[in-house]
Structure 1
Amino acid sequence: MDIPIIFQDDHLLVVNKPVDLPVHKNDFMPHDAPYLTKLIGDETGQWIYNVHRLDSKTSGLIILAKSSEVAHDLTLQFERKEVVKEYATIVLGEVAEEGVFDEKVVVKKKSKFKKSALTRFQRIRTVQTAISYKEHTNVCLSLVRVLPETGRWHQIRQHFAKNRHDIVGDSHHGDFTLNKLIKAEWGFNRLMLHASKLGFTHPITCEKLEFEATLPEEFEQLLEAVAIK
């Protein structure tokens, strides 16, 4: 599996994680299933430590550390909200030009316990489609820039779903009928959520680093495919 390495030195890496690849091993995976830290470890020939979470279904930028000390420092930066995080997503409906979701979200799968979470967003553009189903007629899809200020489980996915702007391809919180229609008609079958920007301080050099990953081709392809010509 080709995993683009955006940055690498003796202490850490920044990679552009492919969609549908777990960051680390979990109990629900087959014993021989691939995961990011193992693949990068095999490629670099050393033990790799994950620093922060990125859902397997979400593509995009993620930091990996080459030592537990560097991983600890980077984790603290995330906890102190010192890391710049930006995502891109495609959602149902025409969202506001900009806004904030400030609502509690559940902290893990099948849990009822909730914690506060804050997600800022800006609409990039909206396309009208010929997709109609249930009570929806010629639905709009919006490309949105997302800036989460907290890092809860599925935070972005939960916030947009709670506000009736389901993320396209979200099989857990989203609009299952919409996802099925898009897959059947145009063949798109992925979560349209991408970690597009990361900024942080290098734990060793203290240099301010910022990285950006271009949108996956599927984002533009989907918007072009569904738009009313």
Structure 2
Amino acid sequence: MTHPYQALPIIFFDDYLIAIHKPSGLLVHRSMIDRHETRFALQMVRDQIGQRVYPLHRLDKPTSGVLLFALSPEIAKLTGEQFQTNNVKKTYLAVVRGITPEEGTINHPLKEQLDKMTDKRADQDKAAQEAITHYRRLNTIELPVSVDRYPTSRYSLVAAYPETGRKHQIRRHMKHIAHPIIGDAKHGKGKHNRYFAESLDAGRLLLACTEMQLTHPVTGEALCIRAPLDPVMLHLIKRFQWENSLPQPWLGGTLVRTRALHWP
């Protein structure tokens, strides 16, 4: 059987850093949570370029998009300081339930979510940490379909800009303002997730890291690394006629052929 992740798309590569487009469903590194998994972005990138790599941040398993690695411990330390001081600007794209305000800032501290297996020795009573996410609504749609208790169903396309980097921050923050991300099994609502999976061919978490801005740790130049949306999210963006709301680099992949708008 051919594995779906034979090679990961490289979107930036020099003597110090490498960025890849991580697909939804791929772990960044080995985890006790998914002990059955045998493929990880860390090992795959290492094997692709024939040298060790050092992850600078993490993306949840179901989240796709920009994933950045350093090529040495020294570069990892230099670049990691930008992440630790919140000087890396990240942009995410999400499809959420309901019509959000046009823009806003979610300033809601988050208590660290510990994994029962991997965080047994962590401080279980650690105080909630500062967590800030800015967001902007890019587009909306109202479908003549009763997914839940209303005769129609409304959704928003949102750009999210996390100022801090807490675990599952965007997912938890969007749930906090009652606009959970579609496809979020933990923080969303099953009826809407199932509708998107079964009727709209979108059976993944609809969250992607589309852009990352930072300072190159050696040259000092400003880097802007972009990852185009994957076919599943592109399919949905096209189907909802939202593509004019997005910059062209985010649409840089090959758009799959979409069906005409038709709601059962």
Per the TM superposition, whether the score is higher than 0.5 is yes
Q: Which residue of 1 aligns with 2:120?
A: none
Query: Which amino acid in structure 2 is aligned with residue 38 of structure 1?
Result: Q
For structure 2, which runs of at least 5 residues remain unmatched after alignment?
A: 116-123, 241-260
Partners of 1:128 and 1:217 lie apart in 2 by 22
- Which residue in 2 is equivalent to 1:62? 67
Matching of residue 176 in structure 1 with residue 190 in structure 2: yes
Bigger shift: residues 119-128 or 27-36: 27-36
1:150 CA displacement: 0.4
The answer on 1:157 being equivalent to 2:151 is no
Structure-2 residue corresponding to 1:212: 226
SS state at 1:105 partner: coil
Q: Give aligned pairs, total.
A: 229
How far the C-alpha of 1:174 sits from its partner, in A, is 0.7
Q: TM-score, normalised by structure 2?
A: 0.81
| RMSD of equivalent CA atoms | 2.0
1:19 matched to which residue of 2?
A: 24
The farther-off stretch of 79-88 and 104-113 is 104-113
Whole-Å Cα distance in 2 between the matches of residues 175 and 225 of structure 1? 22
Instruction: Tell me what 1:198 maps to.
Output: 212
- 8 A Cα contact 1:129 1:228, kept in partner: no
Supply the distance in 1 between the matched residues of 2:234 and 2:188 (Cα, whole angstroms).
Answer: 20
Amino acid at match of 1:132: S
Flag the structure with higher strand content. 1
Per-residue deviation at 1:66?
A: 0.9
**Cα displacement (A) at 1:79:** 1.1
The equivalent of 1:116 in structure 2 is 130
Aligned to 1:7: 12
Q: Residue 202 of structure 2 contacts residue 233 of structure 2 at CA under 8 Å; is this kept in 1? A: no
Deviations 1:7-62 (A, max 9, x none): 11111101111111111111233366100010000111111110111111100001
Relative to structure 1, the CA distance from residue 32 to residue 104 in structure 2 (aligned partners, 3 Å threshold; closer, same or farther) is: closer
- Report the CA distance between 1:179 and its aligned residue: 0.6
Secondary structure of 2:33's aligned partner: coil
In the other structure, the counterpart of 1:130 is: 144
Residues 117-156 of structure 1, C-alpha deviations (whole Å, 9 max, x = no match): 1100011100111231342331111111110100001000
Residues 90, 219 of structure 1: 8 Å contact kept = no
Q: Retained in 2: the 8 A contact 1:128–1:228?
A: no
- Conserved in 2, the CA contact under 8 Å of 1:123 and 1:143? yes
Question: 1:88, 1:65 → 2: CA distance?
Answer: 24
**CA distance 1:41–1:220, shift in 2 (3 Å):** closer
Report the Cα distance in structure 1 between the residues aligned to 2:141 and 2:36, rounded to whole angstroms: 43
* C-alpha contact (below 8 Å) 1:60/1:196 kept by paired residues: yes
Distance in 2 (alpha carbons) for counterparts of 1:136 and 1:117: 32
2:195 is paired with a residue of what secondary structure?
A: helix
Q: What is aligned with 1:30?
A: 35
Aligned mates of 2:184, 2:202 — CA distance in 1: 12
1:105 aligned to 86, 110, 125, which one?
Answer: 110
Structure 1: any 5+ residue segments left out of the alignment?
A: none
CA change 1:210–1:225 in 2 (3 A) is: closer
| Amino acid across the alignment from 1:94 | I
